Chains A and B, each alone.
Chain A
Amino acid sequence: MSSNPASPPNGVSRRGFLSGSATLAVATPFVAHAAEQAAPGAAAKDPHAKVAVSFNINGKPYQLGLDARTSLLDALRDHAGLTGTKKGCDHGQCGACSVLVDGRRVLSCMSFAVMQEGAEITTIEGLASTDGALHPMQQAFVDHDAFQCGYCTPGQIMSAVGCVQEGHAENDDDIREYMSGNLCRCAAYPNIVAAIRQARDDMKEG
């Protein structure tokens, strides 16, 4: 291994970062396991070296040391402990992993976590208010039985929030079209459309 220190995109040197944090998780709600600790002196050229990345998830800061190949989805699920976001294909084909990144809907399986330095990420866990009140989209999915097994649901809901915010939920045809990246094998589609229609109006009022 060479001893070239890698520079994380945020400008904090990897070496400094590492020496300052034994667990990579100081002041974050996340507790890393040993395997995630980047080896001191790990090199940029070593493809297996851990890379440091920091971003906010649901308003909380996270600092993770990750294999550069780790997808944002796996970072959320396996490293930040937020398993609400689901893996249905890992290839950008199903939408189960949809999250909001800086307010835009993104397939988290199609993005490397290290590309999200400094990003504001919202997942299904961050949608309800802290007092437990459901987001209008979540409530609408309950009201309209817009799921069966519930596995595609976090992705559907995140995508639906993005869809409304984009202004692509003004009529049923638009909803169907702009929600067609989110597969539901249980086929709750008519109920999903009804739920988004309700939440769109509630979100406007709210």
Chain B
Amino acid sequence: MSDAAPRPNENMGEPFPRIDARLKVTGQAPYPADAPIANLAYGTFAVSSIARGKINAIDIEPAKAVPGVLAVFTHREMAGQLEHPKFGNAAASSIAPLDTTDILHDGQPLALVIAETFEASQEAAQAIRVDYAAEQPSATFDAQGTETVAAKEASEQFEEDVAAGDFEAAFAAAPVTIDQRYSTPTQHHNPIELFSTTAVWDGDGLTVHEPSQNVTGWKVELAHQLRMEPEKVRIVSRYIGGAFGSKGPMTSRTAIVAWAAKKVGRPVRCVVSREQSCMTQTYRAETRHHIRMGADRDGRITAFAHEGWEVTSRPDPYVVGGTSTTGRMYDYGSVLTKVSIVKADRNTPGYMRSPPETPYVYALENAMDEMAVALNMDPVEFRRVNDTQVEPIGKKPFSSRSLMTCYDQAAEAFGWKERNAAVGSMRDGDWLIGMGCATAIYPTNVAPCTVRLRLNADGGLRLQCGSHEIGTGVRTIAAQMASERLGIPMDKIEVEMGDSSLPPAPVSGGSVSTASVCSAVIKGCASIRGKLFSAVVSADGPLKGAEPATLDMKDGAITSSDGRSMPMKEAFVAMKTGVIEDYAEFAPDGATPEAVSKLYGGQSEMKGGEKGEKVKYAFGAEFVEVRINTRTREVRVPRIVGAFAAGRIMNTRTARSQLMGGMIWGISSALHEVTEIDPRAARYVNRDLQDYLVPVNADIRDLQVILVPEVDMDVNPAGVKGLGELGNVGTAAAIASAVYHATGKRIRDLPIRLETLLT
């Protein structure tokens, strides 16, 4: 078997190749901007070049004079035409550009040009002249004019600053303490697919082709903004060219393009340039952290305080608040946390792969390594001493926690015992060698989900679910689950996803998709099985009189535990039917009675994580080797090993790929990624893929993913913990630890670049 297809261990599914693989390697997978639309017009936005102030005047005449231009829309045409977006649900921001002369961030859309060709729309957008009344913007932390607010006062999304025991007393009494500050930078998702909207009207009905992680939520939100009935709006997003959170919330662009398409009476496609996408989409905001930790001499943590600050826009209290996770990570004697948001003249940030955990766990795990050094303990043993099966805040048990198994398996595969713990002791010619490790953690979420199944007598199955194939393999996994439950081969299963006209599924965020979709598929299959089983036990035939509980579906037949069986085709005859169709609604334990109707209304009620009787998290451990050139200080990562336990693994191939991608994202966070901000202009500087660094093929060498068997039926009926956001948590801290081990330099501000190591 190739590395890509690990042999399934206990509680793991087969590494089926993706069912859409052929479409993807032949260029036939239809991404939204590929949709062939007749009579298409092209849209390009003109955006603000100041971050704060007002539009005095906007001259669109030069744009209108460009041959091929059909229309130019500004606030003059559009004010009052659209309902304002509702931040906090499916909308990325409450900012409603083209409704106002106010400018709230650099890159705010100011005009939309519609033209016969892409080239003409671009030329015209560049010809628009704007006269601004500019004010001095506040770009980020420390800038004059920012406003700092406690998260729990500003945001409904943020529930509480978790705490336990008397931190101050415990910290004061601790014999070993650390008191340090850490920071993480602004990052942009930069999926390789450009953002795009294609709006097509048919009478009073609207179809929008746009990459989306939340087609049902967008349908409802877009209908709200356009003052339409949701039933008249359809979002189509069958294939998504990478998302990472960027396509979760809908931006203001979608409704504006749809409105313009109606106005010009033509379908309109707007593909946003890479540069504009950095300003108009969401991003991971920069964060700061203050960690204080106290421990006794044998390594037990007695006091842990984590205070975090996050940047957001002026109007929207976006917050990730990762203290909910860091405060529950280890068996701390006492916990004190606080999260604040800092409002600046910026566009509203948004979810980016493991939104809370990436920055907050980075700070915690870097601090854990510092404490291990202060205690003169092995960092793995330090975690073992503080490992726990009961979280310290609510004293609730973890539904499962295989953290130390992950550490032990990864340490073994990595060869951790070969490490000489002394700083700067390992070297290979011109290269200093450092080794480090850190914990990965991500809350296990699940949300209501619906699915429609249509099984025919030949064993052909059509599975419909409004979830989203963002690269996770969810189409394949849904088919695998149905194949297993109904005993039909994979090649007889057709899966439709990515369309708001399908039964709704939750937003593909928070790593909910596999758990939620599979739970709904299980429920739908159970209903089909029930119908078939009750028919075959009462009809004449080999299974007459059998106890339904003893029946199963395998290899195209209904089988009984006593060895009797009947082909599925005959069971259909017994039922006197040709096709069985089932629509199933799944709602997780503890969901409100309205959970499914809320799903139809575009809202995903997520359950899991710290909510419920038991707390639910997936864990992992990552080990890295770094090599740092003694002359140039270039940092390389020749080796990385991660071991992860995430309940049932549906498909070892897609699971490994996601975790691998996550680990590389972690390397990227540590060494590559940062969106630079011009503090005078509150403007992103590196708005392209040349200057926004992400790893290329040559940056990645040996990478090993270990899937650790774990069974946890408390999390959801599928026993699945999401893992798409697990792999990139902790990696940056492991690299920072390894850099310290190699050089003795503790880097607390990401990313770690050679200039940071030169002094």
**A48: CB under 8 A from chain B?**
yes
In the bound complex, CA of A146 to CA of B4 (Å): 8
Query: Could you count the A-B residue pairs with CB atoms below 8 Å apart for me: how many are there?
Result: 201
B118 pairs with A142, CB closer than 8 A: no
In the bound complex, CA of A182 to CA of B38 (Å): 32
A157 pairs with B25, CB closer than 8 A: yes
**B759: CB under 8 A from chain A?**
no
In the bound complex, CA of A33 to CA of B2 (Å): 47
**A183: CB under 8 A from chain B?**
yes
The smallest C-beta distance from A118 to any residue of chain B, in angstroms, reads 23
A153 pairs with B688, CB closer than 8 A: no
**B138: CB under 8 A from chain A?**
no
Report A140-157 residues with CB < 8 Å from chain B CB. 141-154, 157
The smallest C-beta distance from B625 to any residue of chain A, in angstroms, reads 16
B274 pairs with A91, CB closer than 8 A: yes
B244 pairs with A185, CB closer than 8 A: yes
Closest to A74 in B: B118
The answer to whether A86 and B660 touch (CB under 8 A), given A145-B4, A177-B698, is no
Chain B residue contacts of A144, Cβ below 8 A? 2-4
The answer to whether A187 and B660 touch (CB under 8 A), given A89-B274, A90-B273, is yes
Closest to A198 in B: B2
Report B695-735 residues with CB < 8 Å from chain A CB. 695-701, 703
B657 pairs with A150, CB closer than 8 A: no
A86 pairs with B31, CB closer than 8 A: yes
Query: Please, what's the 1-or-0 string for B431-471, where 1 marks a CB less than 8 Å from any CB in chain A?
Result: 00000000000000000000000000000000000000011
A149 pairs with B2, CB closer than 8 A: no
B192 pairs with A151, CB closer than 8 A: yes
Stretch from A4-12, A16-24, A189-197 that touches the partner: A189-197
Query: Please, what's the 1-or-0 string for B58-93, where 1 marks a CB less than 8 Å from any CB in chain A?
Result: 000000001110000000000000000000000000
In the bound complex, CA of A144 to CA of B33 (Å): 27
A142 pairs with B21, CB closer than 8 A: yes
The smallest C-beta distance from A171 to any residue of chain B, in angstroms, reads 13
**B665: CB under 8 A from chain A?**
yes
Closest to A85 in B: B27
Chain B residue contacts of A145, Cβ below 8 A? 4-5, 17-18, 21, 653-654, 656-657
**B517: CB under 8 A from chain A?**
no
B22 pairs with A142, CB closer than 8 A: yes
The answer to whether A194 and B3 touch (CB under 8 A), given A149-B470, A151-B31, is yes
A192 pairs with B26, CB closer than 8 A: no
B471 pairs with A149, CB closer than 8 A: yes
B690 pairs with A189, CB closer than 8 A: no
**A41: CB under 8 A from chain B?**
no
A185 pairs with B190, CB closer than 8 A: yes
**A72: CB under 8 A from chain B?**
no
A193 pairs with B697, CB closer than 8 A: yes
In the bound complex, CA of A150 to CA of B239 (Å): 9
**A115: CB under 8 A from chain B?**
no
Chain B residue contacts of A85, Cβ below 8 A? 27
The answer to whether A142 and B697 touch (CB under 8 A), given A67-B117, A87-B271, A191-B4, is no
Closest to A154 in B: B27
**B129: CB under 8 A from chain A?**
no
B interface residues, tally (CB under 8 Å):
72
A148 pairs with B27, CB closer than 8 A: no
In the bound complex, CA of A142 to CA of B473 (Å): 13
The smallest C-beta distance from B188 to any residue of chain A, in angstroms, reads 11
Tell which of B17, B194, B690 touches A88, judged by Cβ atoms closer than 8 Å: B194
Chain B residue contacts of A96, Cβ below 8 A? 192
In the bound complex, CA of A186 to CA of B470 (Å): 10
Tell which of A33, A185, A189 touches B697, judged by Cβ atoms closer than 8 Å: A189
Name the residue among B18, B190, B696, B701 with the largest chain A CB count within 10 angstroms.
B696
Tell which of A33, A35, A83, A151 touches B242, judged by Cβ atoms closer than 8 Å: A151
Tell which of B4, B24, B694, B701 touches A194, judged by Cβ atoms closer than 8 Å: B4
B660 pairs with A147, CB closer than 8 A: no
A141 pairs with B25, CB closer than 8 A: yes
B4 pairs with A186, CB closer than 8 A: no
**A61: CB under 8 A from chain B?**
no
Chain B residue contacts of A81, Cβ below 8 A? 36
In the bound complex, CA of A179 to CA of B700 (Å): 12
Tell which of A33, A93, A151 touches B39, judged by Cβ atoms closer than 8 Å: A33
**Interface range on chain A: under 10, 10 to 19, 20 to 34, or 35 or more?**
35 or more
Q: Which secondary structure dominates where chain A touches chain B?
A: loop
**B550: CB under 8 A from chain A?**
no
**B133: CB under 8 A from chain A?**
no
In the bound complex, CA of A57 to CA of B636 (Å): 41
B26 pairs with A186, CB closer than 8 A: no
Closest to B665 in A: A187
**B592: CB under 8 A from chain A?**
no
A183 pairs with B26, CB closer than 8 A: no
The smallest C-beta distance from A147 to any residue of chain B, in angstroms, reads 6
Report A156-177 residues with CB < 8 Å from chain B CB. 157, 175-177
In the bound complex, CA of A143 to CA of B4 (Å): 8
Tell which of B38, B658, B694, B701 touches A33, judged by Cβ atoms closer than 8 Å: B38
Q: Which secondary structure dominates where chain B touches chain A?
A: loop
The smallest C-beta distance from B460 to any residue of chain A, in angstroms, reads 21
**B120: CB under 8 A from chain A?**
yes
B17 pairs with A142, CB closer than 8 A: yes
Closest to B41 in A: A35
In the bound complex, CA of A83 to CA of B193 (Å): 13
Report A79-125 residues with CB < 8 Å from chain B CB. 81-91, 93-94, 96, 123-125
The answer to whether A88 and B697 touch (CB under 8 A), given A151-B242, A194-B3, is no
A148 pairs with B697, CB closer than 8 A: no
Chain A residue contacts of B664, Cβ below 8 A? 187, 189
In the bound complex, CA of A150 to CA of B21 (Å): 8
B697 pairs with A176, CB closer than 8 A: yes
Report B725-756 residues with CB < 8 Å from chain A CB. none
Chain B residue contacts of A48, Cβ below 8 A? 66-68, 120
Closest to A39 in B: B67
**A134: CB under 8 A from chain B?**
yes
Chain A residue contacts of B5, Cβ below 8 A? 145
**B377: CB under 8 A from chain A?**
no
Chain A residue contacts of B25, Cβ below 8 A? 124, 134, 138-139, 141-142, 147, 150, 153, 157
Chain B residue contacts of A157, Cβ below 8 A? 25
**A44: CB under 8 A from chain B?**
no
Closest to B692 in A: A93
The answer to whether A88 and B703 touch (CB under 8 A), given A33-B38, A48-B67, is no
Query: Please, what's the 1-or-0 string for B469-486, where 1 marks a CB less than 8 Å from any CB in chain A?
Result: 011110000000000000
Closest to B20 in A: A150
Closest to B277 in A: A89
In the bound complex, CA of A139 to CA of B36 (Å): 27
Closest to A144 in B: B4
Chain B residue contacts of A134, Cβ below 8 A? 22, 25-26
The smallest C-beta distance from A86 to any residue of chain B, in angstroms, reads 7
Tell which of B117, B471, B668, B696 touches A148, judged by Cβ atoms closer than 8 Å: B471
In the bound complex, CA of A96 to CA of B370 (Å): 42
Chain B residue contacts of A187, Cβ below 8 A? 660-661, 664-665, 668, 695, 700
The smallest C-beta distance from A15 to any residue of chain B, in angstroms, reads 20
B241 pairs with A149, CB closer than 8 A: yes
The smallest C-beta distance from B666 to any residue of chain A, in angstroms, reads 10
**B29: CB under 8 A from chain A?**
yes
**B689: CB under 8 A from chain A?**
yes
Tell which of B27, B29, B656, B699 touches A123, judged by Cβ atoms closer than 8 Å: B27
**B491: CB under 8 A from chain A?**
no
The smallest C-beta distance from B48 to any residue of chain A, in angstroms, reads 21
Q: List 13 A-B contacts (CB under 8 A).
A: A88-B241, A93-B689, A138-B26, A141-B21, A141-B25, A145-B653, A148-B658, A149-B240, A150-B25, A151-B193, A180-B696, A185-B244, A189-B695
| A-B pairs with lowest CB-CB distance, top 9 | A84-B27, A151-B241, A149-B471, A148-B471, A150-B24, A124-B27, A187-B664, A83-B34, A93-B689
User: Chain A residues in contact with chain B, CB under 8 A?
Assistant: 33, 35, 48, 67, 69-70, 74, 77-78, 81-91, 93-94, 96, 123-125, 127-128, 134, 138-139, 141-154, 157, 175-177, 179-194
